[in-house]
Amino acid sequence: MELKIRHAEPADFAAIHETFMQSKAQGGTLQNPYPSAEMWRERLSKSSADFVLLVALVDGKLVGNAGIHLSPRRRRTHAADIGMAVHDQYHNLGVGTALMGAIVDQADNWLNLLRLELTVFTENEAAIKLYKKFGFVIEGTHIAYALRDGVYADVYAMARLHPKQPILKKRATEER
């Protein structure tokens, strides 16, 4: 199996659309079910300085994506939100690990980010384990955060501080 990570291109819209049509992506992300291919075509055709989208390819097939949403607020330029989705048929093959590694590399070494933030449904143990592997910690729980399958579900707020900022990381760890 050959796994590659690269920046998303406008022509990737159909494969990204297919990923978000999968049940795990619909249930595990905040994307609405049944997204239109046209929505993804439009989103990828617009260049944006505040959004980085990477894709994972297995043997040349696009099977996952991860994005960094930079904050437009001046006092929050040190922080960004991230999100990720992997095609249902490609879970447990290292795709999520590769995407997360690439996202963390972008944040730490190229985007001058101090803080990465995400939300994850509290019962998504596989995702929580992956995020913890990359240094994310649970900072709190949002009760009834999002509607999913007709029921309001809780999420953890997780964050990761840049490891080359030991004073900040130590402070954050001590406060928990």
At 77-97, the pLDDT tens digits run 999 999 999 999 999 999 999
Give whole-number Cα distances, 173 to 6, 76, 128, in Å: 33, 21, 17
Q: In what order do the strands lie in the sheet with 115-121?
A: 3-7, 51-58, 61-70, 79-86, 115-121, 151-161, 137-148
At 124-163, the pLDDT tens digits run 999 999 999 999 999 999 999 999 989 999 999 999 999 8
pTM of the predicted model as reported, rounded to 2 decimal places: 0.89
CB 19 within 8 A of CB 25: yes
DSSP letter, residue 10: G
pLDDT band of 23, cuts 50, 70, 90: confident
pLDDT at 32: 80
CB 111 within 8 A of CB 82: no
- Counting the structural domains of the chain, the total is 1
Phi, psi of 73, deg, nearest 5: -80, 130
Phi, psi of 140, deg, nearest 5: 175, 180
E-assigned strand segments in 16-150: 51-58, 61-70, 79-86, 115-121, 137-148
Domain that holds residue 83: 3-174
Residue 97 sits in a domain whose CATH number is: 3.40.630.30
Who wins on pLDDT, 31 or 56? 56
Q: What is the mean pLDDT of residues 6-19?
A: 94
CB 40 within 8 A of CB 85: no
